[in-house]
Structures are given as structure tokens and as C-alpha cells.
Structure 1
Amino acid sequence: MQNFEYRIKHKSGVWLYMSAKLVSVNEENDQGHVLAIIRDITNQKKAEQELIKAKERAEKNDRLKSAFLANMSHEIRTPMNGIIGFATLLKDKNKTREQKAAFTDIIINKSHQLLSLINDILDISKIEAGELKITKLQCKVNEVIDNLYVFFSNNDKLKDGSVVLKTAKPLRDLTILTDVNRIEQVFTNLLSNAIKWSPNDGVVKISIKEIDQRCRFEVVDEGPGIPEDSIPKLFNKFYRVPGSPAGGTGLGLSIVKAIVEFHKGEIKVENRIEGGARFVISLPLGHPPEGPNESA
């Protein structure tokens, strides 16, 4: 008895996987015949290939998570060491009031870094478990933009004028059905990245338009842009663009994408011909707005 597998091309052009079993027939008066049993095992082969791919994906995720945990141990220690070090210096009676004020600012900054790391880890855990809570309410888009503008007014690069943040809001106040805190988290991440990558005298712009009953947001910067081979991987968990400044979890943009999709929205990124990157987010509108259909 012999068993073997082979492929044949169907007349439709599709390749099929076949299994053949050859059995020698030795009955009385038999002239040496062979019985061939042929089965179509295409679905079985496809299932096996999917299992192999799933195994490879799982192994890749395990490697990424191991690298992530190793990186996180370093990322968490860095701000913690800063907090402990400068808190210790605060106890030094020989330090001036100005020095202690500077130490306090550093401690606050390092604490924010640490909190951001922890929030990213908690958010991605909730997303993977399907437990990220989204509470949608009617929200005025212009209010979201105003809140972001106030938040970033204390950014160092904006305060010293090395980067300018511009907004282009619609003349009529569009409304979206959204979790305000989560959608502000999305734009805080995108604007932080845009400001970080912008050169001195650079401009970061966020604009809003109504297109086909959807609210379209654009965040544009004048930085170096994104390597073309990194764009397809940019929203993957743990992915960091080569040459990125130290720090961070590599989770920010994957969290952004998940939040946008929880809102039945879409996000994409592209490099601009004139330089820099453009992130585009499209979200469904809430109840129909009133007023002229114009934008600034």
C-alpha cells in the first residue's frame, strides 16, 4: 500500500490538493490490479496552513511581548530613578529655593511620563480583553479642539515659539457621538507626536471638515515624514519607527487605532509631498448640525 499527496489544477484555474492511496488487489484470478483511492484534501490543507500561520503569529507576538516587557522594565526604571533622585535632593537643606523648584518640576514631569506608560499598558490590556469602556455622548467638535489647544499651551516647544500649533475649525459647529475623554486621548497622542517630530519654526495643524456625513480630522506636521516601509506597521502593537527618540511603549498608535474603530471610524496616515506626515481620521457625525455648510 502506498500513500502520497499531489496538486492538480482545476479547469477554473484553482489549485486543488489531492490524496491518493494505492492498494494492491490480490484476489483469486487477479492479474495484478491496483485499487486507487483519491480524495480532495484542499480544505484540510488550507486548515493546516492557517494553523501554521496562527502558530507563527503567536510566536511573533510572544517575542514582541518579551521584548516589550524587557523594554518596559527599563522605561519604568528611568522615570522612577529620576523621581527618587530628585526627591532625595529636595531634602538637602543646602539647596536654594530656585533649585528645589526646578527639582519639583522634574519630579512632576517624570511622574507624568510614568503615568503615561502605565496608562498605555492598562489600555492595551483592556483592548485585548475587549473591556475598553466607551461612553458615547453628543459632543461639539469645536469644544474638543479648544480643550486640546488649552492642554498644549504648556508644551515647551509651543511656549518658546519653536513650533506653532494652528487649528482650522468649521464655521458651523459639527457634532459627533463620542467618548470625549477617549477622543481627546487620540488627538493628544497624534499632536504630541507631530510636535515632537517638528523642526524649529515648524507648524503643526489640525483641521476639521464635513465630508459625506462624516467628520474628517487632519493632523499635519512638517517633520521628516515616516519611512515608507514603516507605514503599514505603524499601528501595530509594540512597533516603533526606527530612529524614534528613546522612551515610550510602542503602544500609542495601536491604542489610537482601536479607539477610532470603537467609534466606527477610520484612520490612515500618509507622507506629504511637501514634507511631513498627515494623519486622517474620519468619524460619523452625531445629529445633523444646523447652519451654513462652510469650513474655515
Structure 2
Amino acid sequence: MAFYPISNIFSSQAIIYLFLLVLSVQSLLFPSGPIIMSTLISAIILDLIYTSPYWEFSLFTPNNFLLILLFISIPFINTIFTSRFRRQEEQSRRREHVTNTMLKLSKNLSFVSGNIEVQKVAVQTIKEGFGFNCAFMLKNKNGVLSKEESEYSTLSLTPEEREIAEWVFATRRAAGRSTDTFMAEEKSFYPLNSLRMSLGVIIIKMGHPFNADEELLWITLKRQISNALEREYLNEIANQSLLLQESEKLYKTLFNSISHELRIPVTSIISAAETMRTLETGLKQELSEEIYMAAQRLSKLIEDLLNMSRVDSGRISPRLDWYDVHDLISSVVKQLKEPLTEYHLAIYIDEDMPLVRIDIVLLEQILYNLLYNVIVYVPKGRNVEVSARHDGHNFVLSVTDNGNGFSEKDLPHIFDKFYRGNSSITGGSGLGLSIVKGYTDVLKGRVTAKNMPEGGARITISLPSEIPTIENLNNNDVI
């Protein structure tokens, strides 16, 4: 309408150009709806005031119709392209925001170490990228979710919300606002899952639901944070493992050194005490006997410690060959002849027992420790039975007594190192059955223990051993 006073100066075509100029400028400033409305109103004003016949609608005359149609089309097309460019600009800005946020998070995470620093970077990035406050609840060393949020969290949780976080950690599913579970909650709970483990839960309080771009950014951020926490968690485990390995190495070095140094004086004491037993009489002989027995017990303890150290080192290689079981049992019984005289010993070997392919040294140690365990823990005068048989695939050796047996509490732990039950008496080291288990594992066998219905206990060793043939008897390869 502002062009009306100059309508007498300019022609109608010039006025139309001025209208188009104004509409073009408007299309750069406003969305398509107002531009279309402005174009239609401008077309009506142009038809009524600036085209003849004046103050009459002549839109549907051929000349005016084409003119007005062109007049409407130009700003309409212009506003379509402007809107398209505007959307592309907004998308570019959103992509730039996502990229900058991810680059900043990746850069900051690459320069930090420790769960605390990772959380600080994550809290700051979420605040800058979304404007949200958040809280972390991470699992502890026992693999259980912590009961409290971390110190760098910017949200405080109620006891009910902590229970929801525990549910999210256990099920590895999201909960809270904008999810399909616990939808009435004002906060959103997301599990921090990596490819191998669940590390904890992150809780956010969003001001508005995520749009598509924000949801993609959030998923990516959460994954980056989870991977960083997993890296720190695995680093901590690796450091602990390295520390344990070094501690174990130092322990074994000191242990072997001390044990070997003790063997020399103990051997000397045993030799001197044994000589005094034969030369002295009366009280001196009794004292010599006590010295001898104490030295024997100390020597057995040192030998057990050394054997356990060899088992733990994993450096024992079995040397298999064909042996007669009678020789094996006779050799061990001869070593324990004196203490076994106080028991009723019975030996049962199958009449058709074949030669067995075993490591005779390791198996002697196994049987020796089994019988020595009986001597220490079974009351004198009881029955002791050693039996050997072959079931076609395995050599089975068992030691049975009618003593007090194992308590039900101790039975699952009797093969643990240094384990001595509540009923243990003085004299046991807690290593005898551990050595039996270790040597049996080296021989790829199996050891079991059980209480007998009539009283007492039975320990059974089962070792793989094929039936000898002419071919494998001639094959004496050592493995």
C-alpha cells in the first residue's frame, strides 16, 4: 500500500517489480507460511489497485491471470529454496555440534586415567552437550553395584531411585523417562555396558525428550564413556595381576631359598640324633628320641613345602614307564614300616593286576602322603586298607581307614593348601593332601575323598593307564 502514492509516477510493471523485491526480502526472513499469505494478499492488492480496470477483480482475464500467476510463483519458489537451505544449515549446525562434542570427549578421555577422571570428563561433556545433570553408580571390586552415587555426580538420588539403578545394572536395560519401564520417573537410567561387561549405571535428568540427533549423540557418548570405564577397569585388574605375580615370584624365591637352607641343618640334626639313639641309654636316649622325632617332623614339613612349591611352579613333567604295583606299595610301606606297626594294615591288589604306566616317583609321594595322613590323624590300633585295581582304562589306588573320618564342613576343603580342620591334632602341616591333589593333577588323574558309612574315610586316586601290550611295553618313551 506504501507504493500507491507513487503509482502515477511508475508504470504497473515497475510496481510489480517492487512487489517482487519486497516479497523476495521477506522470503529470506520468514518461513514459508507467512510468505505464501503475504504473496496472496499482495496479489489481491496488485489486482485491485495497480492493474486496470482498477478497483475490480480482473484476475481471471488471460493477461492478468498469467501475470499474477508468475507474480505468485516467483516468491513461492524462492521461499521453498530458502526453507530448504535453512534446514540444511540447521542440520549442518547439529552435525557440527555432534562432531565437536565427540571430538572433545575423545580428546579429553585420551589424556585422563582412572575412573574418577573419566567421570569428571563425562559429567562436563554431558553438561556442555545437553545441559543435563547426571550421576554415576559404578560397580565395586566385588562386581556389585555401589550403593551410593560417585562423588563427581551432579544429581542426588533417593533410595527408590537407587533401587531402580540396581535393577538397570542387573538387567542391562534402560529405565525411567523416555523408556518403556518405570516411565513415571522424572530421571532416566541407562546401563553402562561394554562388549564384555556391565560397568555401572548413568542417571540423567533431561529437560526435554531427545530428538533423533540428540539420541544418536547420547548413544555415542554413552558408548565412549563405557569403553573408557572398561579400559580403566581392565587396567586396574592388569596392575593387580602384575602385582600378584611379582609377589608370588618373590614368595617362591624366598620360600625356596629358606627351605633349602633349612634342609642342611635339619639333616645334620637327624643324623646326630640317630647316632645318639644307638649310643646313649636311659634319659639321654629318651631325649635323643625326642630330638630325632622332632627333626623328622620338621624334615617332613620342609619336604612338603618344597613339593608344594614344585607343584605351584608348574614345572613338574611326569616320566611315565611300566611298573609293578606290588613294588610301588612295598616301597612306601617299607618307608613307613615303624609307625605303621601300630595299625592293622591290609593290602589288596587284584590278582590279574597288569603292569601300569605311571611316574613311580610321583606316585610313591602320593601314597606316602596318604599313609602319613592316616598316621597323623587316625587313632592308633585302627584298620588301614590299601587297595589297587585296574578297570581297563584307569589305575585306581585307594586308602581306607576306620577312624573318625572327615567332618562334613571340612570335606570340601581337605585338598586346599594349609587347610587343617577344626578337629586337627598337632603334627599336621595341612599340605599332605594338597600335594596329593597337585601330583594327581600333574598325572592328569582325579582324586576323591568320602566318608564311609561304617565309619572312617576313603581317598581314591584314579590315573589314566592303558592295558599293556607287546607294542607299548617296548615303547618306553618318556613324556
Say whether the fold is shared (TM-score over 0.5).
yes
Corresponding residue for 1:119?
A: 303
Give the TM-score, by structure 2 length: 0.44
Matched, 1:261 2:423: no
Structure with greater proportional helix content: 2
* Deviations 1:220-264 (CA, angstroms, capped at 9, x unpaired): 111111111111111111111112111332222111111011111
Match in the other structure for 1:149: 333
Q: Kindly tell me: are residues 275 and 131 of structure 1, through their superposed partners in 2, closer, same or farther at Cα, counting changes over 3 Å?
A: same
Which amino acid letter does the alignment assign opposite residue 7 of structure 1? F
Shift in CA distance, 271/41, structure 1 to aligned 2, threshold 3 Å = farther
Specify every segment of 5 or more residues in structure 1 that has no aligned partner in the other structure, as ranges: 291-296
Relative to structure 1, the CA distance from residue 140 to residue 213 in structure 2 (aligned partners, 3 Å threshold; closer, same or farther) is: same
1:246 aligned counterpart, secondary structure? coil
**Secondary structure in 2 matching 1:115:** helix
> Is 1:188 matched with 2:350?
no
2: CA distance, partners of 1:246 / 1:261: 28
2:388 to 186, 202, 208: 208
Summarize the alignment of residues 41-190 of structure 1 with structure 2, pairs less than 5 Å apart: 44=230, 51=237, 97-155=281-339, 158-159=340-341, 162-190=342-370
Aligned partner of residue 193 in structure 1, secondary structure: helix
Q: Displacement, 1:99?
A: 4.5
Partners in 2 of 1:284 and 1:41 — Cα distance?
48
Work out the CA distance in 1 between the residues paired with 2:449 and 2:206: 63
AA at the equivalent of 1:245: I
AA at the equivalent of 2:401: D
Counterpart Cα distance in 1 of 2:420 and 2:324: 33
Q: Which residue of 2 aligns with 1:225?
A: 405
Sequence identity (%): 27
Asked whether the equivalents of residues 164 and 203 of structure 1 are also in contact (C-alpha less than 8 Å), the reply is yes
Structure 1 residue 9 corresponds to structure 2 residue 189? no
Partner of 2:35: none
As a proportion of its length, which structure holds more strand? 1
How far apart are the structure 2 equivalents of 1:130 and 1:270? 28
Pick closer, same or farther for the CA change 1:41–1:275 going to 2, 3 Å: farther
Deviation at 1:187, TM superposition (A): 0.8
| Aligned alpha-carbon RMSD (Å) | 4.1
Distance in 2, Cα, partners of 1:199 & 1:36:
71
2:475 alignment partner in structure 1: none
Whose relative contact order is higher, 1 or 2, with alpha carbons under 8 Å and at least 6 apart?
1
1:246 to 426, 434, 446: 426
Q: Mind listing any 5+ residue stretches in structure 2 that lack a counterpart?
A: 1-126, 128-133, 138-167, 174-190, 471-479
SS at match of 1:261: helix
**Residue identity matched to 1:9:** T
* Amino acid corresponding to residue 445 of structure 2 in structure 1: G
The amino acid across from 1:257 in the alignment is: K
Write the letter of the residue equivalent to 2:458.
Answer: R
CA distance in 1, matches of 2:469, 2:288: 46
Whole-angstrom distance in 2 between the partners of 1:277 and 1:201:
16
Aligned CA distance change for structure 1 residues 4 and 99 (closer, same or farther; 3 Å): closer
TM-score normalised by structure 1 residue count: 0.68
Q: Shift of residue 44 of structure 1?
A: 4.4
CA contact 1:176–1:284 (8 Å) conserved in 2: no
Number of aligned positions between the proteins: 251
Instruction: Kindly indicate whether residue 270 of structure 2 is the aligned counterpart of residue 270 of structure 1.
Output: no
* CA–CA distance in structure 2, aligned partners of residues 251 and 258 of structure 1: 10
Distance (Å, rounded) in 2 between the aligned partners of 1:152 and 1:8: 57
Aligned partners of 1:128 and 1:153: how far apart in 2? 30
